[in-house]
Every structure is written in C-alpha cells, then in structure tokens.
Amino acid sequence: MDITGSWEDLGNILAAASAVGTTSFGLVDSTKAFRGGISNAGFGYIKTAIDGFRPALEVVNAGDPFQTMRANWLNGVPKDDQKAIAKSLVRLGITPTTAADLAPAAPGIDGTLFAAAALKVNAGEELSEHEINMLGRFDAILDARMDAGFERADQLYRNASKLLAAVISVSLSIAGIVVIQKGIPNAPDFFLALLVGLLATPLAPIAKDISSALSTTVAALKSVKG
C-alpha cells in the first residue's frame, strides 16, 4: 500500500472502503442461507411482546404458535404487513375457550365478559356497546405490544447487521494488507487498513459517489493549473 499524501490517495481510500463495505454487507446477507442467519436477530423481542397472546396463536398452530411470524420476519416482509398478519392470527384465535386465558395479557379486560363476547362473535350475535368497547381496548393493547416488539426487533436487527459488517470489514482490510505485504505489515499500513475497515461499513452506500466526485474535482483543479 503506497500512500503519497496526495488528494488522489483519499479517493483510493474511499474506493477501497466502498469495495470492502460492499463485500462485508454481501457476506452478512449470505448468512441468511443458514437458518436465517443474521435475520434471526431481533425476533426474540417480537416473541416476548406477544407471548401473552400465545393461547390464541396455538388455536391456529398448536405445534409452533410463532411459525408464521418467524417466517415473515426472516423473509423480510414489510413491518406493517407483519403486524397486520400477527394481529389477524390473534383475532382468529379468540374463542370462548381461549378468551379467559387471553384476558391477563390485556389489563382491564374481564375474562368472563371477554369469553361471553367471543361466544357472541362466533355465533354471529350482536354485541353490546360495552362488549364492543372491551374488544376495542383489547385491540389497542395488542397494537401497542406489537408496535413495541417490532420496533425493538427492527432496531436490534439493524444494529446487529452493522456490527457484523464492521467486524467483517476490519477483518478483510487487515487480511488484505497482510496478503499484499506477504507478512505482518508495518504500523502505519496496519492502522491505515484498520481505518479503511472501520470506515467501510458507514461509508459503503455513499463512498462510490464521494470518490467519483473527488476524482472529478482533482482532475478539474489540475486542468486549471495547467
């Protein structure tokens, strides 16, 4: 690695960071081939947030109540769609039998009245205003729980992906300088490789544009100087 201190060197560093960053994100994404890989990050928050509604989910899938939600999360289905599907599954599982078990997950919901409302819904009977309000309260609590779970899950997934990409970027940069110099690099080159690795993850999406703009600017300045 030969750095002369000219402006072209900054362009080379940005180009290298772009290449390393792109490769790192590609390797992170490839982990999804192994039982979901990095996509598994965050799903625990979703499961915890709606675990209280498990009795309803077990009506749909007794063996694996969270199977549909897990599949949607690993497949990257839009978050709003995932929430809607999860809510539909819970609603589908509200029966006179499960209502009493679901009530503790929604503070303020009376299990006996909730079971009576579920019985009316299944029978197609008209609900009283009080029962309608109770079901509305249940939906609001369910929405709040899902919002919290999905937001925390999404945050953990993004942070975990960036952290893993950063680790891979640094590893690739250091491995690259070792291969180029056929041995342990000197301190300046080692720290330069480390810098490229650290910058690769946040700069990867924009490094190519910055590098191109910098090259154009340098070429323009040279032409002005003659």
All structural domains of the chain with their residue ranges: 7-225
Reported pTM: 0.75
Q: Which two tokens stand for residue 202?
A: 């946040």
Q: Taking the mean position of all CA atoms in its chain, how far away is CA 114?
A: 35
Angle at 71 between CA 70 and CA 72, to 5 degrees: 90
Burial 131-161 (b: 16+ CB within 10 A, else e): beebbeebeebbeebbeebbebbbeebeebb
Q: What is the spatial distance between Cα 67 and Cα 73, in angstroms, rounded to a whole number?
A: 10
Average pLDDT, the chain: 82
**151-206 pLDDT tens trace:** 999 999 988 888 888 888 888 888 878 887 788 877 877 887 787 777 777 665 54
Rg of the Cα atoms in the chain: 27
Q: Check residue 14 and give its pLDDT.
A: 66
Residues of the chain with pLDDT under 70: 1-17, 202-226
